[in-house]
Amino acid sequence: MRIGLVCPYRWDVPGGVQYHVRDLAGTLRGMGHHVEVLTPAEHEESLTDPWITFAGRTVPVPYNGSMAGVQFGPVSAARVRRWLRDGRFDVVHVHEPAAPSVSLLVCMIATGPIVATYHAATTRSKVLAAFGPVVRPWLEKISGRIAVSDFARRVQVEHLGGDAVIIPNGVHVDAFADGPPLPSVPRDAPTIGFLGRYDEPRKGLPTLLEAMRTVVRRHPSARLLVAGRGDADQLHRLVGEELRPHVVLLGEVSEADKAAFLRSVDVYCAPNLLGESFGVVLIEAMSAGAPTVASDLDAFARVLDGGRAGVLVPRGDSAALGAALGDLLADPGRRAELAARGAEVARSFDWTVLARRILAVYETVVLPGGGGVTAREDDDVPGVPPTAVAPRSSRWRGSAR
């Protein structure tokens, strides 16, 4: 099958949607399918794979507690048309199509089978409430809808109409399960791990730092390893003098080091406060054998099997979080039990399992006898002339035939 995947966010900036598209593309290609990706990027030179096409640069705007990229206009539309023509896809799979991005442009311009995946989860989205009625006519062209969680599905149904099948985010389980821990992390003290952008309030790191004060009183040698991006000076101010000996800032880690990091901790903690449609880092932690303590967000509870594969605590409750972490560090038998159950649950989220479910959705929308996806040439896209021609960059990537 010839498959076109569309990522609306900058490929060279770490993010859950980017990783999802990357891993899905790699898995489908490994299964023998022809897959190409259309995506914006901060730097075109970062797109080194010949099957990835540069869609242009984006303008960052706040969205769902993070930053999303807006991309629109005649040059972007021309690139979309060319990618669709060159690709001769049987199906195009767009991600987060409701925002004004390259995913929405594809929905406007493409004719033929379109599948969409919805990732965002927010109880009240001003963006979707404002733009939902405007973009709905183009989104009605979508033949198959996927949501990564029940929460994401409810948001999609409420704001955009239609329904969606739930297929969660995936993980390459073996990549996290096999390998050594980080050599820089000593194993002589109880260790808690946190991974994420630590200066995003919704990630909940201040709650975890407050909980660490309780943990340290029970386990004086305990340490918190913090990996990810953010303002280091701001983090040091949050830590304070009392906790400074117990907090280690590792900075941003590579994918390989992330797996090793998760294999290095006695407990992984996800103290997130809101805005999570899934919990892929929990699957990664469970794949690596790390018992997990997480906020009782709906999405996290579903990943952790209602608390049977990890410990759930009320979000934002630092006292409850500190007690749960301290109890787990003191109980190696309970940690081993959670690690075993977590590894079992993680297997159901392996990309080889989920890619087959996504392929089943493709097969329900692909036109019998072919027909595929083409680019319309009318002027139905506001402000986007159908004859606009994108400058052909020396690094322009078309079909990877």
Structure pTM?
0.81
Q: What are phi and psi of 6, to 5 degrees?
A: -125, 120
Q: Which helix (H) or strand (E) holds 339?
A: helix 332-347
Distance of CA 334 to the CA centre of its chain: 29
The residue behind tokens 């880690």 is 253
Q: Which of 183, 148, 182, 177 is nearest to 165 (CA)?
A: 148
Q: Which amino acid is at 59?
A: V
pLDDT tens for the 401 residues of the chain, in order: 999 999 999 998 888 899 999 999 999 999 999 999 999 998 999 999 999 999 988 776 655 555 555 666 678 889 999 999 999 999 999 999 887 789 999 999 999 999 999 987 654 455 555 555 667 788 889 999 999 988 788 877 776 667 899 999 999 999 999 989 998 887 789 999 999 988 888 999 999 999 999 999 999 999 999 999 888 888 888 898 899 999 999 998 988 899 999 999 999 999 999 878 788 999 999 999 999 999 999 889 999 999 999 999 999 999 999 999 999 999 999 999 999 999 999 999 999 999 999 999 999 999 777 678 888 765 455 544 443 333 333 333 333 32
Quote the pLDDT of residue 135: 72
Task: State which H helix or E strand residue 224 sits in.
Answer: strand 223-227
CA–CA dist 325, 59 (Å, integer): 40
pLDDT for position 57? 84
Residue 372 confidence (pLDDT)? 86
Tokens of 227: 């990996």
DSSP string, 235-246: HHHHHHHHHGGG
Nearest to 103 by CA among 130, 141, 67, 65: 141
Burial per residue of 142-170, b for 16 or more beta-carbon CB atoms within 10 angstroms, e otherwise: bbbbbbbbbbbbebbeebbeeebeebbbb
C-alpha closest to that of 296 among 281, 280, 307 = 307
Q: For each of the domains in the chain, give its residue range(s) and CATH number, in order of start.
A: 2-170+350-375 (3.40.50.2000), 173-347 (3.40.50.2000)
Residues 119, 17: contact at Cβ < 8 Å?
yes
Buried b / exposed e over 231-257, threshold 16 CB at 10 Å, is: eeeebeebbeeebeebbeebeebeeee
CA distance 77 to 72: 7
Half-sphere exposure of residue 161: CA atoms within 13 angstroms, side-chain side: 12
Token pair, residue 48, equals 């080194």
